[in-house]
Chain A
Amino acid sequence: MDCVLAPDNILHDTLLFRVIYEWVGQLLPCGLSYAVAGIAIMLLLVNGVLLGAGGFSWLERRLIGRFQNRVGPNRWGPFGALQPMADLFKLLFKEDLVPRGADRIVFTIVPVAMMAPVVLMMAVVPFAKDTALANLNVGVLYVLAVTSITSIAIFMAGWASDNRYALFGASRGVAVLISYEVPVVMSLLGVVLVAGSMALDDIVSAQTVPFLLVQPMAFFVFLAGTSAELNRTPFDLAEAESEIIAGYHIEYSGVKFALIQATEFGAVLTSSAVMVTLFLSGWSGPFSDYLGWAWFLLKIGVLAFIFSWVRATFPRLRIDQLLAFAWKFLLPLSIINLFATALEVYFLRNDAGMLTTNDLWLMAGINFGVAFACLLTFGTLIQDKVRPAKSLTAASLSSPEVG
């Protein structure tokens, strides 16, 4: 039973799938091994993301501990590395409560609906040469489409929980997600323009110069937008602990809560992975192509560290300020970036419609200039908002001198 994947099969380019399929195909009928290989890939993906989430939760707690002059988890395992397991088992044995007024079915679907986009997003990301689980030619579009599932999950959670804090969290979360979707998409258009493709594999190979340098403004907008979509400070309004306690997931406990938590940590990793692919030239790095996964992990680690750092440092914005930030600051920036990039690509590309490495360096120079000018202008414009003039005139008493 030697099964061989036909070259026109949609999964033919997916190296990992093909290997598993052909290996299992020596033992099982072809139809069955097709399914087995698919399930194996899915298990790998889901467990990989969850394991990564666990690992990142430990890393972040250690890091934030350091930022705060604390130790962080250090009891179980070397440097407390088994802490995520302890957390998981604790949460597994907790009672799984559903509030009386809750919509049971929707309430139960939510953790899965939240988990799904995080796992699915990872499917198209190439984490080493030829290793994307599905090399879609509309990869960027797919990532954007899949991430917007989250807003539905958040709204379902808020609506089904029958809790007013959850409702606050959900309405905030949805408002944030919808607003930030716009600048994020706009910023990615610039990347797609330069790369000339929507497939993530092609975007990686187009990055002879990392797009972080070619598209600095797009990277900034994407980073800010992703922080907002990930619900991390300074944009963690949907679950603002000091205000609405836990926001949309206030009523979740036990294994459901564990899933939601894992989603949050996993989302940071997958978003970092997407960002690495789009802006930091993905898995490519010096030395051998076979070290691609190591470069990939290293770059994810750097971005995850930045996310943790920001989280440990900044206070939270207010909802109106957050939305204003998206619409009045990030969106104009991304539009300017898109126009600048479009003009550059129009004038610089050769007859085949391609950009050479020298062109990319030139674009990097121009775009850094544009970014600097934009940030300076906008910074001056919003300065009055940050430090408003006082508007208090009600003092009625002659203040006695002191001293």
Chain B
Amino acid sequence: MAVQQLGVVELAEKVGGALPESLAPDRPDDGALWVNAPKIADVAAFLRSDAGLDFNFLSSISAVDYISHFDVVYHLTSFSKRHTALMKTRLDGRYELALPTVYHLWRGADFQEREIWDLMGIRFEGHPNLKRIMLWEGFDGHPLRKDYL
């Protein structure tokens, strides 16, 4: 059986039932589970621990700079249930951006969150070692942002 991407409606129902207020309304319909930024760690914990979902593998975390806001995209995989899911959250503004870390759920988030901090300038609250990773300490700016030339 090949791996399926989990339908967002089904996913949203489950998450919304367990964690009300955690899902962002009126976001684009792009197959992703849109989550309110402060709730991201709670939703991730639910996705990780729920027996029916069991997302035990964090494929990747990406951040996208849309100038007025940033999207952070989580690609999740479940090895036991053989499905994947896309979780997104939006951060408005360009300064003092922060998200709760998922480091404690998936150790694999360690380097990726550090990389996003380094290159995109989004802080991850609760990350134990949030230092620059590709660039050196003291580097000015976050080069993957659209306004960095």
- Which residues of A approach B to under 8 Å, CB–CB? 397-398, 400
Residues of B within 8 A of A398 (CB): 80
What's the Cα separation between A397 and B48 when bound, in Å?
13
B81-138 interface with A by 8 A CB criterion: 82
- B56 an interface residue at 8 Å Cβ cutoff? yes
The A/B interface has a contact count, at CB < 8 Å, of 7
- Docked CA distance A400–B79 (Å): 7
Main SS at interface, chain A: loop
* Bound complex: CA A169 to CA B56 (Å): 43
How far does the alpha carbon of A397 sit from the alpha carbon of B56 in the complex, in Å?
A: 9
Provide 7 A-B residue pairs closer than 8 Å at the C-beta atoms, listed in order of the A residue: A397-B56, A397-B79, A397-B80, A398-B80, A400-B79, A400-B80, A400-B82
The 7 closest A-B pairs by CB, nearest first: A398-B80, A397-B80, A397-B79, A400-B82, A400-B79, A400-B80, A397-B56
**B3 to nearest A CB, angstroms?**
10
**Could you tell me the distance between the alpha carbons of A400 and B54 in the complex, rounded to whole angstroms?**
13
B79: A residues at CB distance < 8 A? 397, 400
In this complex, what residue of A is CB-closest to B57?
A397
Considering the complex, which residues of chain B in the window 20-71 have a beta carbon less than 8 Å from any beta carbon of chain A?
Answer: 56
With CB as the reference atom, state the residue of chain A lying closest to B54.
A397
Give Cα distance in the complex from A397 to B54, angstroms.
Answer: 10
Give the CA-CA distance A397 to B79 in the complex, in Å: 9
CB distance from B121 to the nearest CB of A (A): 35
Chain A residues positioned under 8 Å from B56 (CB to CB): 397
Q: Tell me the minimal C-beta distance from A402 to chain B in angstroms.
A: 11
- Chain A residue nearest to B81 (CB atoms) is A400
A398 vs B79: C-alpha distance when bound (angstroms): 9
Complex: A83 Cα to B56 Cα, angstroms? 59
Chain A residues contacting B80 (CB-CB under 8 Å) are: 397-398, 400
Residue of A nearest to B82 (CB): A400
Least distance between B58 CB and chain A CB atoms (Å): 15
Bound together, the chains give a CA A300 to CA B80 distance in angstroms of: 63
Cα A280 to Cα B79 in complex, Å, equals 64
Q: Which residues of the partner chain B approach A400 to less than 8 Å between Cβ atoms?
A: 79-80, 82
In the complex, the chain B residue whose C-beta lies closest to that of A401 is B1
Residues on B with C-beta less than 8 A from A397 are: 56, 79-80
Q: Shortest beta-carbon distance, A398 to chain B, in Å?
A: 6
Q: How far in angstroms is the closest Cβ of chain A from B4?
A: 13
- B56 (CB) vs chain A CBs: closest residue: A397
In the complex, A400→B82 CA distance in Å? Answer: 9
Q: How far is the CA of A398 from the CA of B80 in the complex (A)?
A: 7
Q: How far is the CB of B53 from chain A (nearest CB, A)?
A: 14
Bound complex: CA of A85 vs CA of B53, how far in Å? Answer: 70
Measured CB to CB, the closest approach of chain B to A339, in angstroms, equals: 57
**Complex: A338 Cα to B80 Cα, angstroms:** 62
A400 to chain B, nearest CB (A): 7
A123 to chain B, nearest CB (A): 58
Contacts of B82 in A (CB 8 A): 400
Cα–Cα, bound, A36→B123 (Å): 81
Docked complex Cα distance between A398 and B82 (Å) = 12
Residue in B closest to A396 when the chains form the complex, CB atoms: B56
- Cα–Cα distance between A400 and B80 once the two chains are bound (Å): 6
B120 CB → nearest A CB, Å:
32
CB B56 to nearest CB in A, in angstroms, measures 7
CB distance from A394 to the nearest CB of B (A): 14
Q: How far is the CA of A400 from the CA of B56 in the complex (A)?
A: 13
